[in-house]
Amino acid sequence: MFGLKADWSLDVQDRYFTIEDYEGAQPRWCTGCGDHGVLTAVQKVCREAQLAPEKIVNVSGIGCSSRLPHYMKTYGFHGLHGRALPFASGIKARRPDLDVWVSTGDGDCFSIGGCHWIHGIRYNIDMVVLVFDNAIYGLTKNQTSPTTPKDYGTSTHPSGSFLPSMNPLTITLGITNVSFVAQVVDWNPLLVYETIKMAHAHRGTSFVRIIQRCPVFVEDIHKGMVDDPSQILLLKHENGIPTNEAVERIYPNQVEHDPSDWMGAMAIARDESKVPCGLLYHDPAAPVYDDWSNVGMGMSDEEKIAGVNKALDSFSI
């Protein structure tokens, strides 16, 4: 019927959410920015999982990617530069009933947020971490980031960066208690959607690095990969990111990779001759910090006071 929402379901539900239920403010990213596609994928995953908008929290730091909470009709927390992960950890620790998402960038996460990145992965709190990596500080207008290629000229390094760029995959894989590491390119919407969907289904910290185009400052960094799909290595496995024939036709270089194989994941991440796309590592058995941080959540005030007094009594002489 005209005027009704376009999504349909044969199941009778008390509430049914459509894409419009997750659409917040009008996105103000530049035309052609890869962030638009990621936002759409997140909204689709929420719709498919029928997540109540009031039970979702999007947390971010500072940067172009960190505008995402404004564009979701959910709860949001736009925090300090580099501090998205500790804020998100605190929210999930005290409100385990909420669905927590983190949107961060290569500068926000890998530079000023580097220590929080390492400990956030180790804690393995149940949340989705989306790193929008465009290899530049875009919001502050073209400064070198940790993933800017060596010798690439920027406003802070006009003659080019002196050091080789950081490899976020090898670093993340090397952190104790890592449980989910994936990488995808923003210009393949099906893979972006399937990757984020699988990340959300995982219990623990799902780390998804999204290689993302910035058409204003560093269009040429990713243009080679867009024009020549042979630069990408598609990771395939029955336990990996689902693909179809249309996706597989695009990428001539493919490999069967078992995401439970940590050594294999590290070898793929270290080989910089190709850009891996898919699920590198998955360990659903890794300890989840929520199992400790959520202890005592249901206690009454009286029980909490009694517990504190009992602890203090242990110091009596």
Categorize the per-residue pLDDT at 309 as very low, low, confident or very high, splitting at 50, 70 and 90.
Answer: very high
In a domain, 204, yes or no: yes
In a domain, 6, yes or no: no
Q: What are 4-30's pLDDT values in tens digits?
A: 555 665 666 788 999 999 999 999 999
Instruction: State which residues form the domain around 51.
Output: 19-313
| CATH number for the domain that contains residue 79 | 3.40.50.970
> Residue 266 pLDDT more than 60?
yes
Nearest to 78 by CA among 103, 115, 106: 103
In a domain, 11, yes or no: no
Cα dihedral value 227, 132, 243, 51, nearest 10: -150
> Residue 99 pLDDT more than 70?
yes
Q: What are 159-203's pLDDT values in tens digits?
A: 988 999 999 999 999 999 999 999 999 999 999 999 999 999 999
**Exposed, middle or buried by CB within 10 Å (0-12, 13-18, 19+), for 10?**
exposed
In a domain, 2, yes or no: no
* Domains in the chain, number: 1
- Residue-level pLDDT at 77: 95
In a domain, 290, yes or no: yes
Mean pLDDT, residues 302-317:
91
- Residue-level pLDDT at 11: 65
Categorize the per-residue pLDDT at 304 as very low, low, confident or very high, splitting at 50, 70 and 90.
Answer: confident
Mean pLDDT, residues 245-271:
97
- Residue-level pLDDT at 37: 96
- Residue-level pLDDT at 298: 83
Q: Is the separation of the CB atoms in 297 and 96 below 8 Å?
A: yes
In a domain, 8, yes or no: no
Mean pLDDT estimate for the chain:
94
In a domain, 159, yes or no: yes
- Residue-level pLDDT at 2: 47
- Residue-level pLDDT at 192: 98
Q: What percent of the chain is modeled with pLDDT above 90? A: 86
Q: What percent of the chain is modeled with pLDDT above 70? A: 96
> Residue 66 pLDDT more than 70?
yes
- Residue-level pLDDT at 299: 87
- Residue-level pLDDT at 10: 65
Mean pLDDT, residues 23-49:
96
Q: What are 139-171's pLDDT values in tens digits?
A: 889 999 999 999 999 999 999 889 999 999 999
In a domain, 1, yes or no: no
- Residue-level pLDDT at 3: 52
